[in-house]
Structure 1
Amino acid sequence: MQVGDRRDTDVRHEDQRPPAAVLFDALGHDYEKAFAHAPAHLSALEWLIERLPPAARTLDVGSGTGRPTAAALIEAGHSVLGVDISPVMIEIATRQVPEAEFRCGDIRELPLEADSFDGVCVFFSLLQMTRAEQSAVTRRLASALKPGGHLVLATVPADVEDVELVFMGQPVRATSFAERDIPGIVEAAGLTVLSGHSTSFTPHHPDAEPEPHLFLHCRREETRH
C-alpha cells in the first residue's frame, strides 16, 4: 500500500461518530450564541417552569451547552438531567451548569424509567433522526413523564426527509414533518397539545438565515387512553 492509500481500518474515529455529534462538537459555544436568546424558546421555558411542582425532576433532551434550558430550570429550583450526543456540548454544559447532571448519550438508546419526570424539554433535538425515530422517541419521552407532567417541544416544521443543507456553516442532513402533521405525532405518543406557537427566528450567526420554528406545549393526562 503506497503512502496516501487508505484502508477501511484506517478510518478516523471522528468519522465514526454520529452525524449529530460531529455537527454539535463543531458548533460548541457558537450554538449558544446563536440561539440562547430566542424569545420563543425563553417563553416556552417560562411556560414549563410555571407548571412544574416544587423541586421537580426534569429532562432536557439535546441539552447543548446547558444554556438557557438547564440553567433556567436549575435557577427555578428544579433538578435537571441533560442528555446530549455531543461530548463537546456535555463538557461545556457541565462546566457552565454544574448543579445539573449531564450524560453523553443517544436519547434513542438511553434507558428511561416510566413515570419518572415532571417536565421534559425537547428543543430542536430530533431533526437528525428519521421520521420513525422521531415518533418513537416522542413516545418514549411521553412515557417517561409522570401523569400530569408537561413537555415542551420545538422543531423546524418542514415536509422533508434526509435533506442536505448547510447549518451555521456546517453540512447537515435533516428530517422533519409538515407543521400540520406535528401535533398528530405528539398526540399519538399519548400527550395533549395544550397550545402551539409558530414563529420565525434568525440565529445570531453570519451564515444564518431565517428559520420557521414551531413550539408545542403539551401535557400527559392523568389517565392515558
Structure 2
Amino acid sequence: MTAETPEFIRNTRTSYDTIADDFDQRFPADGLDGLVLERALFGAFAELVRASGTRAPVADLGSGPGHVTALLHGLGLPVFGVDVSPRMVELARRNHPGLRFHVGSMTALDLPDATLGGITALYSIIHVPDGHLPATFAELHRVLEPGGQLLLAFQTGAEERLHLAERFGHEIALDYYWRDPDAVAERLGEAGFRLYSRVVREAQEGEVRPRAFLLARKEG
C-alpha cells in the first residue's frame, strides 16, 4: 500500500491480516454447506454467467480464505480470488492450492477494462465508506464486460456505521457500514448496472443483522 492509499483500506488490510487465522478457523469451508439460500444464489449467478456466453473469468472480490472462490470453481466457473489482506491470500492459496488468489483492492483493480464475465463481492462493501461507494461501483463496472454479472452480499439494518476495536481477542480498527438494499440498488443503477434480483434473508442463529443479496448485470 502506498501513502496515497485511503485510510479505510489500510485499516481493513491491517485488521484482516491480524484476524485472518482466527477467521479461517471460525468460518471453515464446510460452513457453506448450511447456507441454503446463499448456495442457491451462487448457483443462479453461475447460470447467469454461463447464459451470457462469456469466456471471460469471474473475480471473487474480498475472497478471504477462498471458500466461495472454490465453490464457484466447483460450479464450473473460471474464477480467481482477490483480497486486500496478504495473510488472507496466503491462507486461500494454502486452502485451495489449485486456484489463483491475488492481493488487491476492489476500489482499484489491477485489471484492464471489460475483462471479467462476472464479479462476486460478498460482505466486501461493508468496509467501504459511503463517500467511496460510487467510485467502487464504477470500478466494478469498468472491469466487467458488457452483460457481465454481479453478485453483492452485505449485512443490512438500522445502524449506518459500527467501529470495532477488537475481534477474536485482537486489537483492530475496522469500520462496518450497514445499508438499505434499495439504496445500494439505486447506487448500482447510477453506476450503469441493471438489477436482476433483490433478496433479504433474516438473521439466523449466531447472526445479528439480516443479509441482503443483489444480482445485477452491466448494461451495454
TM-score, normalised on structure 2?
A: 0.79
Q: What 5-or-longer segments of structure 2 have no aligned partner?
A: 1-10
2:210 partner SS: strand
Question: For residue 58 of structure 1, what is the aligned residue in structure 2?
Answer: 58
2:150 partner SS: strand
Contact 1:116 1:144 in 2 (8 A): yes
Q: How does 1:69-218 map to 2 (within 5 A)?
A: 69-165=68-164, 169=168, 172-202=174-204, 208-218=206-216
Cα displacement (A) at 1:25: 5.0
Q: What's the C-alpha RMSD, in Å, of the aligned pairs?
A: 2.8
Out of 7, 18, 30, the residue aligned to residue 14 of structure 2 is 18
Listed one character per residue, the Cα deviations across residues 7-45 of structure 1 (whole Å, up to 9, x for unaligned) are xxxxxxxx9953344344542231336952322321221
Cα displacement (A) at 1:48: 1.0
User: AA paired with 1:155?
Assistant: F
Question: Greater helix percent: which structure?
Answer: 2
User: AA paired with 1:114?
Assistant: D
In structure 2, C-alpha distance between the alignment counterparts of 1:30 and 1:60, rounded to whole Å: 20
Indicate the percent of aligned positions where both proteins have the same amino acid: 24
User: AA paired with 1:197?
Assistant: V
Q: What 5-or-longer segments of structure 1 have no aligned partner?
A: 1-14
User: AA paired with 1:186?
Assistant: L
Cα displacement (A) at 1:110: 2.9
The number of residues matched between the two structures is 204
Larger Rg: 1
Contact 1:59 1:81 in 2 (8 A): yes
Cα displacement (A) at 1:136: 1.6
In structure 2, C-alpha distance between the alignment counterparts of 1:70 and 1:16, rounded to whole Å: 20
Question: For residue 6 of structure 2, what is the aligned residue in structure 1?
Answer: none
Cα distance 1:88–1:28, how it changes in 2: closer, same or farther (>3 A)? Answer: farther
Question: For residue 46 of structure 2, what is the aligned residue in structure 1?
Answer: 49
